[in-house]
Amino acid sequence: MDDTVQVELRLSEQVGNRIIADIKSGSIDSSKRLPGYRVLAGKYDVSWGTVIEALHQLEKNSVIQRRSRSGTYISPRYLDNFKKTTQLAFVFPEKSLSRDSLNYEIWGINSEVYHGMINEAAQNHARIEFKYMEDSADEIILDQQMCQLQDIDGIVMMGHQLKSLRTRILAAGKRLAIVNSYFEAVNDSAPCVALSMAQSMRKIGRFIYDSGYRSVTLINGSLSRLDWAMKEKLLLEYLKSKKVTVSEKYNVEAAEIEPAVKRILKESTGELFCCFQTDALPVLFRKALDNGRMPGRDFDLLGLASGITFANYYPSISYFKLPYFEMGKAACRMVMGKADVEDFELEFIKGQTTNFKQQIKERHV
């Protein structure tokens, strides 16, 4: 009798393993109630008692769960254990996300995108790798890079970087999403997560006009960069249509920020400093305070940047926030095949540097 029991137990374990294999293969629909004893006994050509013992062991091992008055179902926790993990990669040419290695705003952008991806991946059974890839058109290097991406299901890249590798990825049919600031500055066919520059500049221009400013100093980056040139053109057109005067306009090169800021503080007569050149803003802040001038008291200041960039300033900076965290989440969804291109908007963050004019009403932003 003992030998018979041992044989039955071994057979029930075999049936349990077959049930698990059928769940994994999809032969048993894991979203529905498990078939009854009779159906399973017929399917595996065993007795009801063997099926009952197999199910008892599966329940004990948290593979299945019995629901009162409903039936037996596959345990959600068990389904998570064998569900295929989606492998994603954030591919980037710089070797680090360190603030010591990158421009401060670029560091902020990358950090927010990456953390947005991590947040979304955690909710979708996905894992993200950060991969440094050399920016090269050499075919041997590109072959090596594609080998590294062989088991990757979806790839996210930033801006206009790694164009040769991007072409290879698209040709291989892999899912790819590019995170860029603005759609209008994109000139390739890769799926893109970005904002409308025209809409963004109208929003900033409307804020300036509705807030009562009629004289603005614009601090922008070099016009050799397409996105800065386009932002400037669109904002100036809007302000002109509203009869807001741009009293001074500065195009500040990254290598000349210190002398440029000294000149701006000496020459500018605008009621508001509208600063698109993010690297210039901390220098402007410091130089103004060194000269006894307080942003938000002696002149008003408005920025445009990622959320991290203007943290821990005093007085706090009023700025339009580029939603890179949300864009990172969207890029993650896109490369998992869960979303198409989405619309994003600038968010106005009210700080203490726009107090010169009347209080801003919520309906204006």
pLDDT in tens, 47-69: 988 888 988 988 888 888 888 77
Confidence of residue 123 (pLDDT cuts 50, 70, 90): confident
pLDDT of residue 356: 54
Mean pLDDT, the chain, integer? 86
Which long-range contacts (C-beta less than 8 Å, at least 24 apart) are formed by 53-61?
Answer: 53/8, 53/9, 53/12, 54/12, 54/13, 54/15, 54/16, 54/19, 55/16, 55/19, 57/12, 57/13, 57/16, 58/16, 58/19, 58/20
Residue 258 binned pLDDT confidence (cut-offs 50, 70, 90)? very high
- Assess whether pLDDT exceeds 90 at residue 261: yes
Domain 86-194 has CATH 3.40.50.2300: yes
Calculate mean pLDDT across residues 271-289: 91
- CATH number for the domain running over 197-324+343-364: 3.40.50.2300
Domain covering 2-81 assigned CATH 1.10.10.10 in the classification? yes
> What is the Cα–Cα distance from 290 to 304, expressed in whole angstroms?
23
For residues 216 and 235, what is the distance between their CA atoms, to the nearest angstrom?
Answer: 11
Quick check: 316 pLDDT over 50?
yes
Q: What percent of the chain has pLDDT over 70?
A: 90
Q: Which residue ranges make up each domain of the chain? A: 2-81, 86-194, 197-324+343-364
Q: Please check whether residue 248 is in contact with residue 269, taking contact to mean a CB–CB distance below 8 angstroms.
A: yes
Structure confidence at residue 177 as a pLDDT band (50, 70, 90): very high
* Arithmetic mean of pLDDT, 297-326: 91
Does residue 2 surpass a pLDDT of 50?
no
Domain 2-81 matches domain 86-194 at the CATH topology level? no
The predicted pLDDT at position 183 comes to 84
- What's this model's pTM, rounded to 2 decimal places? 0.73
Average pLDDT over residues 285-291: 91
**Packing angle of the helix pair 2-25, 37-44 (nearest 10 deg):** 100
Reply yes or no on whether the pLDDT at 320 is more than 90.
yes
Segment 75-118, tens digit of pLDDT: 877 776 666 678 999 998 876 666 666 677 788 888 899 999 99
- pLDDT recorded at residue 262: 93
**E strand or H helix that includes residue 8:** helix 2-25
Determine which of 97-111, 201-215, 304-318 has the lowest per-residue pLDDT on average.
97-111
**pLDDT tens digits for 3-38?**
444 444 578 888 888 888 888 777 887 778 888 888
